[in-house]
Every structure is written in C-alpha cells, then in structure tokens.
C-alpha cells in the first residue's frame, strides 16, 4: 500500500514521503519467502495472495524492476531473487540460487543501463560456500552496480551468519558496494563490517523501539523493566536527539502506559544510535584503528538490559 501505480501518480516515493536522499527498495523475494504458505514459485514468476485482502498477484523479475525503478523511483533497486529459510537442504539451496541467477539476468535486461539509478544483484547459497562462490561468479558475469549478500538473518543465528561472512564478501568485487540484507543488531553490524560489508538494512531499530527496547553503547535496555521506574538518567548522554532530554523513568512510564510518544522517542533514539555507530566505524576505518574499535565495542557492549 498504496500501490505502485498510485505511487507513480503521486510523483514517486521521494516526493510522496518528502525525502530527497537515496532510497533503496527490495524486490519482493524475501517477502515471498515470508508468505510461503500463500505463494507459488515457478520459473516465469511468483504468484501469491495478498495478506491484506486475499487478492491474487503475479510478480516477475521484470515487474519487480518496473515497480521499483520506474513507478516508485528508487535510487537502488534489487533483482528479484528466491530466498530460502534456514536450515536448507543443499539441493533446495542450489535450485533457489540458480533460479535467482536466471531472474537476475532478466532483472538486468529490464533495468538496462541508467545514469542516476542503480541495480544490485543478490548472492544466494544459504550456508554452502561453493554455492555462494558460484552465485557470485555468475552475478559478476551479468554485471551489476552493487552486490548484496542475501539469505542470511533467516534463523541461522549470529555465529552461523559470521561463518558465512568469513568468505561470502570476498567472493564479491571490492570496487562495488557489498550489502548485507536484513541485518541487524549492533554486534552484527560490527562483525559484518570487520568482514568486508559496506551496507545494511534492518527494521530492528524501530521495531525494538516500538516494543520498549533502546540500544546504547553499553548494550540494549528494556524500558519496560521496573528498575527504570525512578532512574533519572538519560538513555545515553552521547546520543543527540529528542529522547536525550528525557529520563529513563519518563520513558519507562510512557512504555508501560502504552503511550505512542514512548514508541516514537525510542525509535528516534535507536536510529540516532545506529547512525552514531556507523559513523564511529567509518572513522575507525579511515584512521586505521578498526581492530581496536571492535575490541573495545565487545568489551563494553553487553546484553544485560
């Protein structure tokens, strides 16, 4: 909602939401996996029923690019891919990876060459190194503006994700953006950057905020917890934003009373924290001290909120 055709009539997503900076959109592949009970994947297209009104939809690689690049007006569009949940049998992971390659070629053909918009290919292969390598090689033969690492953050856990990231980014070109899809917690970002990832997307900062969780340099805090009822300190004095002027006690009250302001303030704070985290990582990299930053982060960041 409100739908691609209406979005186009309203002048595209930038104008619709009043955002003049870059926008990245997903192709629908992950969403198809999440709707596995009401979708069917075939060579030509994915067919699925809307979880909103039950209406039938057909999504081809070409239609996905039309929606993202032409009607929505995304700056970065993603190829349509097939994502498999974890754990996956190797044959199933191979079939999904090979279908994603064919869909990637069709996505690129529909997208063409554009000066002001980019198209990313998506590496698949679950937790199988040889499949990840094959996917990367074939994607580079097609040629994309950037490359995503897909099929992670689908239930495999932090340790297994890091094992894949020990090799998956190295299969992709170093002169193009390498983007890890759907990740993640602050510790996930630090470990992924350490392994060569450049870009991320995740709903976690705002989803956590809506459920009373705030991310800080010392780890996550659950503002529902009674221990904050009379805590007059701010969430994190180093994070600038609207939430910095309020005490944990006030935020605790808002969350326990289910006031929407509490959800807004924590979401705003979490986004500001993630921005501070990524800025700190960029600075550490440019100054040649990322190893020390990573070590200090782990020493301070806990899960005792």
Catalytic positions, written as ranges = 26, 201
Tokens of residue 11, six digits: 């002048």
H/E/C letters for each residue in the chain? CCCHHHHHHCCCHHHHHCCCCCCECCCCHHHHHHCHHHEEECCCCEEEECCCCCCEEEECHHHHHHHHHHHHCCCEEECCCCCCCCCCCHHHHHHHHHHHHHHHHHHHHHHCCCCCCEEEEEECCCCCHHHHHHHHHHHHHHCCCEEEECCCCCCCHHHHHHHHHCCHHHHCCCCCCEEECCECCHHHHHHHHHCCCCEEECCHHHHHHHCCEEEECCEEEECCCHHHCCCCCCCCCCCCCHHHHCCHHHHHHHHHCCCHHHHHHHHHHHHHHHHHHHHHHHHHHHCCCHHHHHHHHHHHCCCCC
Is residue 264 exposed (0-12), middle (13-18) or buried (19+ Cβ within 10 Å)? Answer: middle
User: CA–CA separation, 194 vs 166, rounded Å?
Assistant: 9
Tokens of residue 58, six digits: 């057909």
């Amino acid at each position: 909602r409100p739908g691609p055709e209406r979005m186009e009539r309203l002048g595209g997503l930038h104008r619709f939401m009043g955002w003049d900076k870059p926008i990245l959109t997903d192709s629908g592949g992950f969403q198809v996996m999440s709707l596995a009970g009401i979708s069917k994947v075939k060579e030509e297209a994915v067919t699925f029923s809307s979880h909103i009104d039950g209406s039938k939809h057909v999504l081809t690689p070409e239609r996905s690019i039309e929606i993202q690049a032409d009607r929505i007006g995304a700056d970065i569009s993603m190829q349509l891919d097939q994502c498999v949940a974890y754990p996956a049998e190797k044959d199933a992971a191979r079939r999904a990876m090979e279908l994603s390659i064919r869909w990637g070629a069709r996505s690129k053909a529909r997208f063409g060459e554009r000066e002001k918009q980019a198209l990313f290919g998506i590496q698949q292969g679950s937790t199988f190194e040889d499949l990840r390598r094959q996917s990367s090689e074939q994607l580079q033969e097609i040629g994309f503006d950037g490359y995503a690492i897909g099929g992670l953050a689908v239930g495999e856990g932090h340790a297994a994700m890091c094992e894949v990231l020990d090799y998956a980014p190295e299969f992709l070109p170093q002169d193009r953006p390498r983007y890890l899809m759907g990740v993640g917690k602050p510790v996930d970002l630090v470990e992924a950057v350490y392994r060569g990832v450049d870009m991320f997307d995740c709903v976690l900062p705002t989803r956590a905020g809506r459920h009373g969780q705030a991310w800080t340099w010392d780890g996550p805090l659950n503002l529902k917890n009674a221990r904050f009822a009379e805590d007059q300190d701010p969430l994190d004095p180093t994070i600038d934003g609207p939430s910095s002027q309020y005490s944990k006690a006030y935020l605790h009250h808002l969350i326990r009373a289910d006031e929407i302001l509490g959800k807004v303030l924590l979401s705003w704070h979490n986004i500001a924290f993630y921005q501070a985290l990524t800025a700190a990582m960029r600075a550490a990299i440019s100054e040649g001290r990322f190893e020390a930053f990573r070590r200090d982060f782990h020493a301070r960041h806990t899960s005792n909120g």
